Amino acid sequence: MMQRDGFVVFGHDAGVQRWAQAAYAHVPNAHSDPSVPLDQLRHGRTWFVGLDALPNDDAGTVDGVPLTGPWQAQVPDMALHRAQLSVVYPGYPLQDADESPGNHRFRITRKAAHVDGLLPVGVHKRRFAQELHAYILGIPLHDCAAAPTVVWRGSHVIMQRALKDAIGGGNPGQVDVTEAYQNARRHVFETCEMVPLTMTVGQAALIHRFALHGTEVWASNASAIKETHRAIAFFRPAYSNGRDWLGGSFS
């Protein structure tokens, strides 16, 4: 599944559910809290970014509840950072005042599709590999079908190949990959299926670090109308070596 699709969605696990319930207690009511920093609440206050917001230790334990699950057999043994608590609210995404119409349209039509860690640098927003993630682990903290993470099936193969070709023997953090990234992303849109990762509490998704992914808009269907928010915890442990990041599947 991982090699073919670039993601795996695991079934319900009682340990994952216990961890999710403990982590959910730390989800802030950011949508209505005026003290939340503006850089953490974006798109018309419809997305709380929540970087490093969960007070877990480097094994993932939160409030004494250990983080264990079926993904552990498929990933390298690495210390974990404080998890991101990504919280999306009804209406996502609204347009921020400093967001261009084109960028806002891309967020709606292409779900802000991206590969993590390829960050825009400088006034011209050129893309460089600045964060060398080993994998992405997403754990839903409650039951909500609205605004799921979406992944383009098989996109990890296309994106990894394009980045390898662009970087060659260079230092991944110092090679401008803007054109290679944009061209490969267009190829993914033309050839790969977009898959919503709709999960319930107790499940988890493991996503390949080169998989193109994003967030679906908040729908106006009956199910979504009943919800007040969607919360997912994300872990993205990082390699220290750029060649490891550019190399194989997880090693």
Per-residue pLDDT of 178-195, as tens digits, reads 999 999 999 999 999 999
Instruction: Decide if pLDDT at 15 tops 60.
Output: yes
CA distance linking residue 6 with residue 219, whole number of Å: 25
For residue range 95-124, what is the model confidence (pLDDT) as tens digits? 999 999 999 999 999 999 999 999 999 888
For residue range 229-244, what is the model confidence (pLDDT) as tens digits? 999 999 999 999 888 9
| Higher pLDDT pick, 92 / 223 | 92
In a domain, 186, yes or no: yes
User: Within 10 A of 61 (CB to CB), how many other CB atoms are there?
Assistant: 15
In a domain, 251, yes or no: no
In a domain, 250, yes or no: no
CB crowding 69-80: b at 16 or more within 10 Å, else e: bebeeebeeeeb
pLDDT band of 224, cuts 50, 70, 90: low
β-strand 135-140 against 204-208: which pairing, if any?
antiparallel
**How many Cα atoms are found within 13 Å in the side-chain-facing hemisphere of 95?**
11
pTM: 0.95
DSSP H or E stretch at residue 123: none
In a domain, 245, yes or no: no
CA dihedral 38, 39, 40, 43 (to 10 degrees): 80
CB 47 within 8 A of CB 41: yes
In a domain, 247, yes or no: no
In a domain, 182, yes or no: yes
* Domain extent for 236: 2-240
pLDDT value of position 29 = 81
Instruction: Decide if pLDDT at 219 tops 70.
Output: yes
CA neighbor of 48 nearest in space, from 197, 245, 215, 160: 215
**How many Cα atoms are found within 13 Å in the side-chain-facing hemisphere of 106?**
14
CA neighbor of 199 nearest in space, from 109, 113, 71: 71
Instruction: Report the CATH number at residue 35.
Output: 2.60.120
For residue range 127-178, what is the model confidence (pLDDT) as tens digits? 999 999 999 999 999 999 999 999 999 999 999 999 999 999 999 999 999 9
Distances (CA, A) of 77 to 31, 59, 94, 237: 35, 10, 39, 10
| Higher pLDDT pick, 225 / 250 | 225
Burial class for 153, CB neighbours closer than 10 Å (0-12, 13-18, 19+)? middle
pLDDT value of position 227 = 87
| Number of structural domains the chain divides into | 1
In a domain, 76, yes or no: yes
**pLDDT-above-90 percentage for the chain:** 85
Q: In a 3-state reduction of DSSP, which class is residue 12?
A: coil
Q: Is the dihedral of CA 222, 223, 226, 227 positive or negative?
A: negative
In a domain, 152, yes or no: yes
